[in-house]
Structure 1
């Protein structure tokens, strides 16, 4: 199934600058930071509206981190932790088993242990205990005389469990970043930027980021030394791995973490992971696709405590063994994921689940540790919200992944009474459910999608920053793009639309011919991973010289035998509708038959610049001469002909000529067969109704 896409030029939603103010700011940014005009324009399109904001973006600094005491209850929480230290009270950190939770525990545990707090930690086994706070492990902690429990990356929806702790005189401090559900738990204190009424200015910290802010506050208030670099290396990894936006504080932490790791890394565990992964230089995407999966694999397979050992250990030999173990666990996870994904995709196809707006896949005894990744893979393939449920012994565990604009957490809330537990974000969530409720849950979730008009969100929006010509593909432009690093969710890499690329060759590659390789006339090459089907389904592209092929791309470096060359990495590819025969036919038919074609044709959704539809008198004349020359053989609309016109312009010219009484024609199998109508009367092509209607459509 092909994903519908819509290309949208990135523009700031928050800028209220006038045209003159915008131009002035461009000039100021260029002068202040010695940047090109293109870079300044892209910065502004991404929301930069002042020199100070540009400075913070271009030069991330720890000085720009927010004061942790801006959290409403931070003072209260730090005082309680100080009291625990003074009394040598037992403290337990209760984390989550994913990269975010385990790294957050590591940051807090390392700091407290170093300063001789009486601290331990507990990370639930994903396969046995499950996510969040549970009564049995809490009872064990109470029996061990723990007096203060600090959650990391969980707890904000654990009302009953917190009540249980209160009944047994166990104070609980919640540090979390997940969405809040109704009434807040009656914890001693809550540090969560998403709590209603919270004054902390940045709402998108990950769980490890919140733990980092707590450590900042404790060290400041108690005057304790804090290994800032070590902690930032850790929180940078967690921030990207947990898919929170790389904006504001998150971008600062990731930028500084990358700087440290690529200069003189301090965390020996991350250093071992980097070595095992054979990375010469760490980039933000390595956190998400290379290092993060190795950390998450331990939690997915029930070995999450190894992450804390890795990130808080000091023996290089032991840490290297741990890193290798995690790498091996990740390979196991990949094999397991691949097996389940194949079964799940087969179910989607055989049961035609892709016809539903929300794809819900249910399997028996699927490993609950990998169903989140399986859901992500299905979502990427079909671009629908996806729920993958694994049922074991009458109990279902599910992972959900959504699309931009559709809040899957709110969808779960709409039938929350059916779940044993649930939680998450707008784009990712999870729940537990009795198998007997699955059918009703499926019905209610799909109904919720209909009610909230989900279909409008099922077109994948592909943003781009600028339209460029082939002459602009230079090392200078590549260097301009580097100013926007680190990139990721919320701060994507710079993407360009290449204006009318002159493609001299295009072919598929890979064992299954599922990738593309192309070459431009300026000797720049490009690769499009996963786009092989675009060419195999359009055999006519080669015949017409790849005219009308357009793509969004990023600039990258291809290194081969020590030689570095620029290459394009395709992020989306399409054929301009005016060059696609069927879509061109639809456009022409709509314009000819409709009184107001714009009602029937959404130019933006169709990916059309109105100016591309304009007809010139010379174009019509060119088609007339081609038809006159062809005699009775017919002229191909799809294959390049002597006119070298798009199918749209060719067919529209035929309609204009017919209206003017100059030809009669019929269309058969992509060929135009025409009869020239001889006349002595001079025809004014520009004043035909079609030309007037088309020009009005373009200009309105």
Structure 2
């Protein structure tokens, strides 16, 4: 393992951004999306004719934020719309016959963060003379739904230069085009506080425009007057925010509504008109999140019994597992076994579930190669949802094993591996400044992780709701740091440990100190 210094770390990080940093002022125009102008003109026509418009979102963070953006925009122009976020348990995913029936008499449906695989629903819209505008970012299939307009950076002949953006960003660009179409005086930065949450939650690569928008979004988050964000700041007790804050402390709470109950709770929280209303909805979200954690622990423990470590892809299959936590459990299995993972639960004669991947293993491509075994599937490279008939399960498992057998071994290597070995003597405020210069960190710009061997454990205690986090005081070469490891499920008995970690600036009671976030004990 290479030995690191602060200068070496700075050089390694600079190499990631040889193309330079994109400024917010340099992001592409909305009309570079295929069908964007067509979509905006149709929406303007609907407004002028006082037609009934409905927006259909999705139950994850990206879908909730996308819906909140559209609600806020139409509220700004004082035009009434109907919004619906399909319930995971009652409606299933995305635009469907059930959702269309529930919407009733509408003239125009706009999907956000879904729709690119809604072939049957699109056909129903056509039969009922409902114009359909699909805005999505998920990978397209071999054919597209029949819609009035499709705005998706991944579709063929789209000239927008960045494919890897989230659904909320597509919705944000649509609002930008509508601003131009309607001749509005609208500051697009007003949306960045919540847009930043979607970029992080949907694990977008933090390069180019994603980095620029997230940087601006984190600054907007710190000063936002939106009641929901003001309330989150009061909970987090911070004045500066990182992508890690959004990814670990904000996104899971917002996501829990759609996982356990109804994503409408999360939407109402983000759209709260005042601080008190935000506090009421947040309390309900916290209850959902506690329920989610308990269910996640139960399903994760059960899923381990079905793991076959000899396989390239972990497929864990059970019954009566809550659909809302299958994606999280798949992510935990992927982290634990360093392999793509799919977690399925049986419902009548079908299996339904979620998958997560790592490294360069394209999960969507794997599913696409085995689409003949599946009823439905959708998603992208690192995350996907799927359903299949029970009689196809074994063939499907064989199919994905065959597909992954042809991949090189380094395709399974997580890019967030250890950068090198770092002595505690190099951990100081200069190092923190270097790390902050290349933030925000996340997908395609992983937080540098360092290893230090033979670290003395001065003190260690279990903390958290279920005692599953480990708070430590660590010493090496005369330097002492506070450290924390989340989701630590084994008792620490050693007085000396080898750790993988990253250092962060922590502020408590108006004083700041360096804390180590331990990700692994070697």
Q: Same fold (TM over 0.5)?
A: yes
What is residue 345 of structure 1 aligned with on the other side?
304
Flag structure 2 segments of 5+ consecutive residues without an equivalent: none
Match runs of 1:399-414 below 5 Å: 399-414=354-369
What is residue 327 of structure 1 aligned with on the other side?
286
Q: Does 1:391 align with 2:349?
A: no
CA RMSD across the alignment: 3.1
Please tell me whether the aligned partners of residues 465 and 495 of structure 1 are also in contact (alpha carbons under 8 angstroms): yes
Please tell me whether the aligned partners of residues 496 and 554 of structure 1 are also in contact (alpha carbons under 8 angstroms): yes
Gap change, CA 1:439 and 1:38, over 3 Å in 2: closer
Gap change, CA 1:428 and 1:454, over 3 Å in 2: farther
Match runs of 1:214-363 below 5 Å: 214-262=174-222, 264-279=223-238, 281-348=240-307, 353-363=308-318
Match runs of 1:238-637 below 5 Å: 238-262=198-222, 264-279=223-238, 281-348=240-307, 353-450=308-405, 452-453=406-407, 455-463=409-417, 471-496=425-450, 503=454, 505-506=456-457, 509-510=460-461, 518-525=474-481, 527=483, 529=485, 553-557=501-505, 564-571=512-519
1:533 CA drift (Å): 7.9
Gap change, CA 1:188 and 1:535, over 3 Å in 2: same
TM-score after normalising by structure 2: 0.89
Query: Which among 159, 168, 175 is matched to residue 119 of structure 2?
Result: 159
TM-score after normalising by structure 1: 0.68
1:228 CA drift (Å): 2.9
1:230 CA drift (Å): 3.3
Q: Which SS does the other structure have where 1:387 is aligned?
A: strand
Q: Which SS does the other structure have where 1:291 is aligned?
A: helix
What is residue 24 of structure 2 aligned with on the other side?
62
Deviations 1:310-369 (A, max 9, x none): 222313322221111111111111111111112112343xxxx22222111111111101
What is residue 18 of structure 2 aligned with on the other side?
48
Deviations 1:9-35 (A, max 9, x none): 99xxxxxxxxxxxxxxxxxxxxxxxxx
Query: Which among 126, 130, 134 is matched to residue 88 of structure 2?
Result: 126
1:298 CA drift (Å): 0.8
Match runs of 1:19-30 below 5 Å: none
1:196 CA drift (Å): 1.7
1:83 CA drift (Å): 0.6
Find the aligned partners of 1:480 and 1:240 in 2 and give their Cα distance.
21
Gap change, CA 1:557 and 1:71, over 3 Å in 2: closer
Query: Which among 64, 67, 76 is matched to residue 38 of structure 2?
Result: 76
Deviations 1:249-282 (A, max 9, x none): 22222211211222x2122123223434555543
1:440 CA drift (Å): 2.1
Find the aligned partners of 1:347 and 1:83 in 2 and give their Cα distance.
54
What is residue 610 of structure 1 aligned with on the other side?
none
Flag structure 1 segments of 5+ consecutive residues without an equivalent: 1-6, 11-35, 575-700
Find the aligned partners of 1:396 and 1:137 in 2 and give their Cα distance.
22
Matched pairs, number: 515
Q: Which SS does the other structure have where 2:309 is aligned?
A: helix
What is residue 97 of structure 2 aligned with on the other side?
135
Q: Which SS does the other structure have where 2:502 is aligned?
A: strand
1:404 CA drift (Å): 0.9
What is residue 107 of structure 1 aligned with on the other side?
69
1:491 CA drift (Å): 2.0
